[in-house]
Amino acid sequence: MSATISEIAPAKLNLALHVRGKLPDGRHSLETIFAFCTDGDRLRARTSSDLLVRVSGPFGSDIDIIDARGHPKPNLVLRAASFLRKAANTEAGAVFDLEKNLPVAAGVGGGSADAGAALRLLTSLWQIDPALAQAVAPKVGSDVPACLLSIPVRGDAAGDQLTAIALPEVSGTPVLLVNPRLPLATADVFARWDGVDRGPLADWREGRNDLEAPAQALVPQIGEVLSWLSDQSGVTFVRMSGSGATCFALFESEDARDLAAAAVPPEWWRLATFLR
């Protein structure tokens, strides 16, 4: 039996997210700053003759990996593995064990982070050129190229045209993620965007998340979470991530973050972590 290797699939945060319009292919034109946490899902893998994913963890039951006929359903981990296997022209397979610690449809990367972790694992497991993983990542999903890197980057085009950036001011910063435990489909939020271009993204602190308003129209509890986070002692920055419904707050100290984490209403999900 082959050795099992593992990767953290870090939670993704959008420090700012500007929606500028539509691209010729119909996708939305975005400008965003990606940052990543030190915690998230965990993915383990070992070589196999097939491609298979098994799911556990607090949110494992929220992922449907078997269809009504008992056949495996494609998810982003298997989608990433399939694309990479084809690109590498190999018959190798892998069994994945996904520990799902992040809520599903929550604006923190989720499946994209899992797919990025799968690509990183498979380049090692199958001993193939990492450049192949970078080449197939955009085919898996718009956020997957950023999640594959899991370092601060600016995303343009559909968020998948990446430029590495330095964010020394946030690296190591204590951060608290809070979600009202309500899933929010990305397509539904984008469908509610009002189509107004509110200008380019320069500084992430002075930027915005253009999806906050449409997300709150669908899940009003997002406004409650943002307001609650803003009222906590030691907070330096608050915003919704991605298309929601997860919101996050940066703190001036780990102690301040932990005090806030302990006070999060019990019906909400929370993750106390750090930015990478």
pLDDT digits (tens, 9 = 90+) for 223-273: 999 999 999 999 999 999 999 999 999 999 999 999 999 999 999 999 999
User: Which DSSP helix (H) or strand (E) runs through 174?
Assistant: strand 174-179
Number of neighbours of residue 109 by Cβ within 10 angstroms: 31
The DSSP call for residue 2 is: P
The DSSP call for residue 132 is: H
Residues in contact with 244: Cβ distance below 8 Å, sequence separation at least 6, in sequence order: 106, 107, 184, 189, 211, 212, 215, 216, 219, 222
Please name the amino acid found at residue 257: R
Q: What is the pLDDT of residue 65?
A: 55
- Look at residue 146 and tell me whether its pLDDT is greater than 50: yes
Closest CA to 161 of 195, 137, 190, 132: 137
Task: Measure the CA–CA gap between 144 and 165, rounded to whole angstroms.
Answer: 17
Task: Measure the CA–CA gap between 220 and 122, rounded to whole angstroms.
Answer: 40
The CATH classification of domain 5-164, taken from the options 3.40.50.2300, 2.102.10.10, 3.90.45.10, 3.30.230.10? 3.30.230.10
Dump pLDDT digits (tens) for 190-228.
Answer: 999 999 999 999 999 999 999 999 999 999 999 999 999
Closest CA to 45 of 104, 101, 92: 92
Dump pLDDT digits (tens) for 160-176.
Answer: 999 999 999 999 999 99
Would you list the domain boundaries of the chain? 5-164, 174-274
CB 12 within 8 A of CB 108: yes
User: Which DSSP helix (H) or strand (E) runs through 187?
Assistant: helix 186-192
Mean pLDDT, residues 100-115 taken together = 95
39, 41, 114, 143: the catalytic one is: 143
Asked if 5-164 and 174-274 have one fold, the answer is no
Q: What is the pLDDT of residue 187?
A: 94
12 classed as catalytic: yes
Please tell me the pTM assigned to this model.
0.93
CB 140 within 8 A of CB 114: no
The CATH classification of domain 174-274, taken from the options 3.30.70.890, 3.40.640.10, 2.10.77.10, 3.40.50.620? 3.30.70.890
The DSSP call for residue 60 is: G
64 classed as catalytic: no
CB 73 within 8 A of CB 67: yes
